């Protein structure tokens, strides 16, 4: 699988346009890997996870042909992940020479939210699939996906996803704080070739944060997965969904996680498993 980080920021982006904190001010000067757009992810150019507000910019920057995308997974409906208005450009009479429908997977709020902004959609352009926690399905592009419950919003089933193809298995693990025990139970005995954890918070002196992960929560999750043999030293582990409020620049996060063999993702990073 080819994996590409289209965006790696938390909800405000970095720099936050309304912020004058040290991280945002430094980022305006140094740019580079410290500039982060809202989180979105692409697999093999055909499966996308979430649509960020910067979607059009992200795919132009990375030269992505979005007409090739067959599957779109939504983790939840917070606006930094659920920019569904851009899907209207794929409707008949707006997008031309499109040869297949986009299959959309998500919770009930995500599916109904899509239907609200796509009135009169045609099945030649969109097909919708309700994701059920812990129920494994095969997508139109041939990926095996399982939505696992995240520890995030109170009033919505938010998902992290296990995605499998060609004998490789990965976890896309945000938005979520320390995972619910039901999700840990499902992961037992499932070896991961790659895992992505979010790290919205900086240091919180709490290794089981709710809603989002702190640096300590990432490290405790990493340790538990090693202890329970969900992954080993060959597993690629990365962090994403970073916020300016964590208080660290990209290179500083790299130094924090380097002793644990955890890589810090940045916009445009590609990996393979």
Task: Say which CATH number the domain at 30 has.
Answer: 3.60.15.10
Q: What's the mean per-residue pLDDT of the chain?
A: 97
Helix, strand, or coil here: 259?
Answer: helix
- Low-confidence stretches of the chain (pLDDT beneath 70): none
pLDDT at position 79 is 97
- Mark 214-230 as b/e (b = at least 16 C-beta within 10 Å): bbbbbbbbbeebeeeeb
Does some domain include residue 211?
A: yes
Range of the domain at 169: 2-8+24-266
pLDDT at position 20 is 98
pLDDT at position 184 is 98
pLDDT at position 257 is 98
pLDDT at position 211 is 97
- The count of structural domains within the chain is 1
Does some domain include residue 63?
A: yes
Does some domain include residue 256?
A: yes
Q: Are 139 and 71 in contact (CB under 8 A)?
A: yes
Does some domain include residue 18?
A: no
pLDDT at position 148 is 98
DSSP assignment letter at 76: -
Does some domain include residue 16?
A: no
């Amino acid at each position: 699988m080819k994996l590409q980080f289209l965006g790696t920021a938390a909800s405000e982006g970095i720099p936050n346009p309304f912020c004058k904190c040290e991280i945002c001010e430094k980022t305006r000067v140094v740019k580079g890997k410290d500039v982060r757009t809202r989180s979105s992810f692409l697999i093999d150019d055909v499966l996308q996870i979430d649509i960020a507000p910067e979607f059009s910019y992200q795919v132009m920057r990375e030269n992505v042909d979005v007409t090739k995308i067959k599957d779109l997974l939504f983790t939840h409906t917070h606006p930094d992940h659920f920019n569904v208005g851009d899907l209207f450009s794929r409707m008949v009479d707006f997008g031309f020479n499109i040869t297949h429908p986009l299959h959309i997977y998500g919770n009930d709020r995500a599916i109904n939210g899509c239907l609200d902004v796509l009135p009169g959609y045609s099945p030649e352009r969109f097909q919708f699939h309700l994701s059920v926690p812990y129920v494994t399905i095969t997508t139109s592009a041939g990926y095996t996906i399982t939505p696992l419950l995240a520890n995030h919003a109170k009033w919505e089933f938010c998902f992290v996803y296990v995605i499998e193809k060609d004998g490789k298995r990965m976890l896309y693990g945000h938005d979520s704080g320390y995972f619910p025990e039901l999700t840990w139970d499902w992961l037992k005995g499932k070896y991961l070739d790659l895992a992505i954890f979010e790290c919205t918070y900086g240091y919180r002196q709490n290794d089981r944060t709710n809603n989002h992960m702190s640096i300590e929560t990432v490290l405790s999750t990493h340790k538990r997965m090693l202890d329970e043999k969900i992954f080993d030293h060959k597993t690629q582990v990365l962090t994403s969904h970073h916020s300016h409020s964590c208080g660290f620049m990209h290179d500083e996060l790299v130094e924090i996680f380097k002793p644990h063999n955890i890589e810090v993702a940045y916009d445009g990073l590609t990996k393979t498993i």
